[in-house]
């Protein structure tokens, strides 16, 4: 699997977060404000290269965006920087919400 980041389902992503992984949302602030997976930490892709060092290297990172493409790019970038525990949430926030997992819509928590 060298060079390829693992994709996980929303259910597997939630399981990993419950086990201690950090859910990192790489969408922009306005997207995050509209709807976000419960517990997601925002680090917008537009700021990612400058701020990626804020992310822990000793904890698994589950990357998430709207549909999975931007988070995959961010995860590949992290792997190139030496991060070893990085996975991508396939389908992104849309899949998370569609699967009925806990999320915040605007200011109201769902699920």
The catalytic residue positions are 65
C-beta of residue 55 within 8 angstroms of C-beta of residue 38: no
Other Cβ atoms less than 10 A from the Cβ of 99: the count is 15
DSSP state of 83: -
DSSP assignment string, 15-54 = HHHHTTPEEEE-S-HHHHHHEEETTPEE--GGGHHHHGGG
Q: How far apart are CA 29 and CA 10, in angstroms?
A: 21
C-beta of residue 55 within 8 angstroms of C-beta of residue 86: no
């Amino acid at each position: 699997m060298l060079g390829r980041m693992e994709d996980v389902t929303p259910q597997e992503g939630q399981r990993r977060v419950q086990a201690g992984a950090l859910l990192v949302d790489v969408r922009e602030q306005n997207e995050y404000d509209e709807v976000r997976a419960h517990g997601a930490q925002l680090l917008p892709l537009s700021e990612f290269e400058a701020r990626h060092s804020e992310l822990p290297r000793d904890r698994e990172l589950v990357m998430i965006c709207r549909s999975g493409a931007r988070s995959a790019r961010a995860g590949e970038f992290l792997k190139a920087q030496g991060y070893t525990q990085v996975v991508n949430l396939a389908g992104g926030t849309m899949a998370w919400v569609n699967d009925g997992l806990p999320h915040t819509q605007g200011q109201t928590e769902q699920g």
